[in-house]
Amino acid sequence: MSRVLLDVSGVSKTFGGVVANDRVSLSVPEGAIYGLIGPNGSGKTTLFNAIVGYHPLDAGSVRFDGAELSRLRVGDIARRGLLRTFQQTRVYVGMDCMANMRISAPGARAGLRGLFRGFDPETDDQAGELLEFVGLQDKRHVRAGELSFGQQKLLEFAMALMNRPRMLLLDEPTAGINPTLINGLIDRLRRANETFGITLLVIEHNMRVIMNLADHIYCLAHGRMLADGPPEAIRGDQRVIDAYLGA
């Protein structure tokens, strides 16, 4: 197996009296697709937020490519090549797809500058290629708000790829998408992994999807790491089955 890219060690996070993450550890090798599952409220989103620096850790460390991240800000972590997406899409509904792609280019976020990136042919070429990659090449000049929810998810994925990330944390990429688009999205995730070498860690409630997609799955319950292993082992793990039934 290749070397570890993301290494989470003993991460704890408490909100008031709620222990959302209790000494959670996981590691993801470079080039892999890993899954993160667990019942609602088990701490998955909190862990993603902890990894990308949205909130300070109470304890533990997060290393990316050997470097400690826990003191860095979200933007610095993104510049190192680690990005996350959200359960709710975060596209700009009033702008067309190309404009959404332009403002996602590195350096564009600081202000309106990104909107005028049409003058930068390299950015536009990359935006066009990535829209094609996700199958939205015909929607370049369509406002994001006019896309279906599933298409907005594809756009959001393409926007993340504008940053040429080394690793993406995806929070329920298939939630709310119809089955036909789910297959298309899964296919794109796999191709992004194979073609661009992007390492993926995916939170997913759809068991069929994650069992098919992931090389290895971590399962959280009540803020703790309950089990991890290859999909076939996790599928039959009584602790995992009980955690879901008890939820």
Q: Does 42 bind ligand ADP (CB under 6 A)?
A: yes
Q: Which stretch binds ligand ADP (CB under 6 A): 36-44, 56-64, 69-77, 209-217?
A: 36-44
Q: Out of 5, 20, 154, 161, which residue is the one contacting ligand ADP (CB under 6 A)?
A: 20
Q: Does 89 bind ligand ADP (CB under 6 A)?
A: no
Q: Does 84 bind ligand ADP (CB under 6 A)?
A: no
Q: Does 38 bind ligand ADP (CB under 6 A)?
A: yes
Q: Which stretch binds ligand ADP (CB under 6 A): 13-21, 74-82, 186-194, 205-213?
A: 13-21
Closest distance of CB 217 from ligand ADP, Å:
14
Q: Does 151 bind ligand ADP (CB under 6 A)?
A: no
Closest distance of CB 47 from ligand ADP, Å:
7
The 3-state secondary structure of the chain reads CCCEEEEEEEEEEEECCEEEEEEEEEEEECCCEEEEECCCCCCHHHHHHHHCCCCCCCEEEEEECCEECCCCCHHHHHHCCEEECCCCCCCCCCCEHHHHHHHHCCCCCCCHHHHHHHHCHHHHHHHHHHHHHCCCHHHCCCEHHHCCHHHHHHHHHHHHHCCCCCEEEEECCCCCCCHHHHHHHHHHHHHHHHHHCCEEEEECCCHHHHHHHCCEEEEEECCEEEEEECHHHHHCCHHHHHHHHCC
Q: Does 210 bind ligand ADP (CB under 6 A)?
A: no
Size of site (CB under 6 A) for ligand ADP: 11
Q: Does 45 bind ligand ADP (CB under 6 A)?
A: yes
Q: Which stretch binds ligand ADP (CB under 6 A): 35-43, 61-69, 101-109, 123-131?
A: 35-43
Q: Which is nearer to ligand ADP, 92 or 244 (CB)?
A: 244
Pairing of strands 167-171, 82-84: parallel
Q: How far apart are CA 139 and CA 178, in angstroms?
A: 19
Q: Does 149 bind ligand ADP (CB under 6 A)?
A: no
Q: Out of 40, 56, 66, 238, which residue is the one contacting ligand ADP (CB under 6 A)?
A: 40
Q: How far apart are CA 182 and CA 173, in angstroms?
A: 9
Q: Which is nearer to ligand ADP, 40 or 180 (CB)?
A: 40
* Interface ranges with ligand ADP (CB under 6 A): 15, 18, 20, 38, 40-46
